[in-house]
Structure 1
Amino acid sequence: MAFFNATYRLSEQIDTDVIEGERLARHTSLRIGGTADLFITCHSYHALRRTIEVLSREEVPWVVLGKGSNILVADDGYRGAVVTLGAGFARFTVAEDGCTITAGAGAMLPRLVNEALTRSLTGLEFAVGIPGTVGGAVSMNAGSREEWVGARIRDVVTYKPCEGIVHRSHDELVWGYRFCSLPHDEILLEATFELEHAPKQDVRERMERHLSRRRRTQPVGSASCGSVFKNPEGHAAGAMIEACGLKGCVSGGAEISPIHANFIVNKGSARAADVLDLIKRMLGEVKAAYDIELKPEIKFLGF
């Protein structure tokens, strides 16, 4: 892997910021993770395309990271390049109809939700309080138990390395519980959402109800990576983990949240190994009690 060549070529590139040996704990909501050999922020499509071309030519492994809200990074970090989308991918565009919003994949989902409120648009209230980027929310079809981001998507635009821009309509993709069939070798650039006009007060009240429920039932404000496991059909992962007596269980600086057993929080000094230990306990106890294999909702990097 020619890290030196890649670093040299990318450091001269316009609209690209390159950092060597960046601590990924600074870029994850769990505040855990070792260093990445390269941490690259691309502020334009041209910069992104050129970056991927250079990394591929120099045989440097790469991965795209949003705001790190649903990921566990290894204590040893990632031997490769972590690519993030910068300012050029954080914009919103509102169509002439006033209710169709195109959001860059690097835009923050909370900003999109607030943009909808400002314009008296309904359809995204369920997403209030969900952290991360639009790109991350679309790729995992984020949402509540009853509503998902994918239901509001009209179309998406991706970048396919070696081929270029790809446009896909909502119906060209498969949407499911915490699932979107976007190819793993493509990078989401933007998504277009179809919303409806509604009285602003009604939109605000629905947002407040959703947010109140999240604050009451989840460790909002704590360092976590969101739900650890997907809910198996007919079951709630958190309820099963709690029934196994694991709520409040501690490993090192990590704890299974006393508020919601499907969340692991960093109490300030947690390492990835601590979180992984708790995940293994949760998996083992639920398997023994229910004969059900829980499926992770979070992603793992560097393991």
Structure 2
Amino acid sequence: MTARHTSALEALLVDQSFDGDIYPGEPLARHTTYHIGGPARFYVCVSSLSALSQLVKTCDASDVEWIAMGKGSNLLVCDEGFDGVAFTLGQDFKTCRFDEEHSSFSVGAGVPLSSVVQDAFKRGLAGLEFAVGTPGTIGGAVRMNAGSRDEWIGSRIVSVTTFSPACGLKRYAGADIEWGYRSCSIPVDEIVLECELSVQSALPSFIRGKMEAALAKRKKSQPLNLASCGSVFKNPDGRSAGALIEEAGLKGERRGGAQISDKHANFIVNVGNATARDVMELIELARTKVKEAYGIELQPEVRFLGFS
């Protein structure tokens, strides 16, 4: 990368009028649920659409890689870090408004999904109980179509607003988006800014019951007391990734500070100062053993950042 390209980005980030907070060399372990990851060249919290537009367009013009991180709940960052810009959405993307006429929430992508679930519960509104206790932001939930086997956020989306570096703001009707398993058809180079979620009135006892059942199931089956990225692998058609890994005899397998959870084998947990290399060794071990035993190629659900 040339000095001219480097200075273009740095000039923006030291500009006093730039609407955001900039952290050079920020360890990304501080910003992922894994508590793993080396430093980013810059970690930025953008507070407005104009700042986001400036940042992304400058990165693209400077040939500097960027990533929208959210809460880092589905991310494994390389130990050596990320030679690019990792950003999160700040102030202007953290609003949540309820429209009584249409019985829907308009939610900024930077809002934690869990807070929307709680807001709906307090208002006696049903439809989001499946997401109780789910980490991460609305933006990440939309991008990954967060949910369970039976319910997912895509089924509740009325519309999504995104930012495209090439085209600016774009709006999609929820029905026009293809919602898949842990995926959606929104182009990968567009940044989710806001979505509209439909809900409906219900008895508080009904909502509470569904939320308590969902939480109890999560607590019983998932290692929520340890740092992780959530599910590591997507479930193959008709099979459970966790069951395949367990049947391959890998539950409890450990490398350094990382362990294939003895509670749910599709979770690799940080049991103490795990490195990204520790986690990657277990990911490759699980893929190899499952492939050997069942001929099934496990596909990662976790995103990787900074790896060659």
State the TM-score bracket (shorter-chain normalisation): over 0.9
Distance in 2 between residues matched to 1:205 and 1:47, nearest whole Å:
42
| Aligned residue pair count | 303
2:9 corresponds to which of 6, 12, 17? 6
The 3-state SS of whatever aligns with 2:297 is: coil
CA deviation after TM superposition for structure 1 residue 57, in Å: 2.4
2:19: which partner in 1?
15
Distance in 1 between residues matched to 2:159 and 2:201, nearest whole Å:
20
- Whether 2:122 is the aligned partner of 1:112: answer no
CA deviation after TM superposition for structure 1 residue 62, in Å: 1.0
CA deviation after TM superposition for structure 1 residue 40, in Å: 1.1
2:53 corresponds to which of 49, 52, 75? 49
Amino acid at match of 2:156: R
Distance in 2 between residues matched to 1:118 and 1:3, nearest whole Å:
48
> Gaps (5+ residues) in structure 2?
none
2:96 corresponds to which of 84, 92, 100? 92
Distance in 1 between residues matched to 2:14 and 2:263, nearest whole Å:
45
2:167 corresponds to which of 152, 163, 166? 163
Amino acid at match of 1:205: G
CA deviation after TM superposition for structure 1 residue 82, in Å: 0.7
CA deviation after TM superposition for structure 1 residue 15, in Å: 1.9
Distance in 2 between residues matched to 1:46 and 1:147, nearest whole Å:
35
CA deviation after TM superposition for structure 1 residue 202, in Å: 1.3
C-alpha deviations, 1:121-155, integer Å up to 9, x for none?
11110101110000001101010111101000001
2:256: which partner in 1?
252
Amino acid at match of 1:34: G
RMSD: 1.1
Check conservation: 2:12, 2:18, Cα contact below 8 A. Answer: no
* TM-score with structure 1 setting the length: 0.98
- Whether 2:184 is the aligned partner of 1:172: answer no
The 3-state SS of whatever aligns with 1:226 is: coil
Moved over 4 A (4+): none
- Whether 2:237 is the aligned partner of 1:238: answer no
1:131 corresponds to which of 126, 135, 138? 135
C-alpha deviations, 1:184-240, integer Å up to 9, x for none?
110000010001110112111110000000000000121000000011111011011
2:227: which partner in 1?
223
Distance in 2 between residues matched to 1:162 and 1:180, nearest whole Å:
20
The 3-state SS of whatever aligns with 1:227 is: coil
Check conservation: 1:103, 1:134, Cα contact below 8 A. Answer: yes
CA deviation after TM superposition for structure 1 residue 3, in Å: 2.9
Distance in 1 between residues matched to 2:29 and 2:206, nearest whole Å:
39
Distance in 1 between residues matched to 2:26 and 2:142, nearest whole Å:
26
CA deviation after TM superposition for structure 1 residue 267, in Å: 0.8
2:41: which partner in 1?
37
Amino acid at match of 1:69: S
Distance in 2 between residues matched to 1:5 and 1:146, nearest whole Å:
47
CA deviation after TM superposition for structure 1 residue 104, in Å: 0.5
CA deviation after TM superposition for structure 1 residue 28, in Å: 0.5
C-alpha deviations, 1:75-114, integer Å up to 9, x for none?
0110111121112111101113262001101100100111
1:188: which partner in 2?
192
Q: Percent identity?
A: 48
1:264: which partner in 2?
268
1:278 corresponds to which of 275, 278, 282? 282
Distance in 1 between residues matched to 2:299 and 2:227, nearest whole Å:
21
1:202 corresponds to which of 201, 206, 217? 206
Distance in 1 between residues matched to 2:19 and 2:118, nearest whole Å:
28
Amino acid at match of 1:53: K
CA deviation after TM superposition for structure 1 residue 11, in Å: 2.4
The 3-state SS of whatever aligns with 1:235 is: coil
